[in-house]
């Protein structure tokens, strides 16, 4: 557990909480019966970061402070439950398209089922429960399905590049190691070529030397066998 709460992860959780809260508070109609809370796009982040789970919960709690106790409790609980489900989906599924499709379902379904209860408790319900649930599901589908998907692929690309903010130390080292391996492989090609060329030149010189030695020996043998005068 101590290794889990690293400085990097704590900072990342704080940033996620702050961004969620600020966007939800600043955005108009983010807490009304007909809503599309854009900060819900961050609910895809538990697919990458376990620390996104508490970050989303705290961010949602802060955003709902002005909406009453029901929204603070049930709304934040809905976000927490959905974030946990998304996190476990991310751990169980590795195929990118399937992982994303399954990962965006909990924020849509859980919020669609629980948030209309908040409207009923607060007396802000405009339609029957199932109509409110359908409206909430549609808003969540836009926020998570469109903006969340765009965020997912953006983070995925940055993690593949080894950008430190979006990677843990081990993954960053792995990405750097892969890059070094590619560079080493590329640099070894010209080196091997140069070595081969040098070896070929040395072999050619050796053959020339051998031929010269053979010619010298042959000439000396002929000189020794010639008749000598009396």
Domain locations in the chain? 7-167, 170-208
Residue 227: which residues within 8 A CB-CB, separation 6 or more? none
CA atoms of 12 and 51, how far apart (whole Å): 7
pLDDT at 30: 76
Options 1.10.1760, 1.10.1060, 1.20.1440, 3.30.300; CATH for 7-167 is 1.10.1760
CA atoms of 224 and 230, how far apart (whole Å): 16
Does pTM surpass 0.75? no
Instruction: Determine contact, residues 63/24, Cβ cutoff 8 Å.
Output: yes
- Per-residue model confidence as pLDDT tens for the chain (230 residues): 566 778 899 999 999 999 999 999 999 877 777 788 999 999 999 999 999 999 999 999 999 998 889 999 999 999 999 999 999 999 999 888 999 999 999 999 999 999 999 988 988 877 889 999 999 999 999 999 999 999 999 999 999 999 988 887 655 545 444 444 544 455 554 544 445 555 555 555 555 555 556 545 545 554 444 444 43
């Amino acid at each position: 557990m101590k290794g889990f709460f690293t400085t990097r992860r704590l900072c990342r959780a704080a940033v996620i909480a702050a961004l969620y809260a600020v966007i939800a508070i600043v955005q108009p109609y983010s807490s009304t019966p007909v809503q599309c809370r854009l900060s819900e796009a961050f609910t895809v982040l538990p697919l990458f970061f376990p620390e996104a789970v508490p970050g989303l919960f705290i961010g949602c709690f802060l955003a709902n402070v002005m909406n009453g106790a029901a929204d603070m409790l049930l709304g934040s609980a809905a976000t927490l439950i959905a974030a946990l489900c998304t996190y476990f989906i991310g751990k169980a599924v590795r195929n990118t398209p399937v992982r994303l499709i399954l990962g965006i379902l909990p924020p849509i379904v859980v919020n669609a089922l629980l948030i209309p209860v908040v409207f009923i408790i607060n007396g802000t319900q405009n339609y029957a429960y199932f109509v409110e649930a359908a409206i909430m599901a549609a808003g969540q589908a836009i926020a998570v399905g469109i903006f969340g998907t765009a965020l997912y692929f953006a983070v995925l690309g940055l993690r593949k590049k080894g950008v430190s903010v979006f990677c843990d130390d081990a993954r960053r080292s792995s990405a750097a190691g892969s890059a070094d391996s590619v560079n080493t492989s590329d640099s070894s090609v010209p080196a091997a070529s140069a070595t081969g060329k040098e070896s070929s030149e040395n072999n050619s010189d050796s053959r020339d030397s051998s031929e010269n030695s053979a010619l010298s020996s042959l000439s000396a043998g002929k000189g020794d066998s010639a008749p000598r005068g009396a």
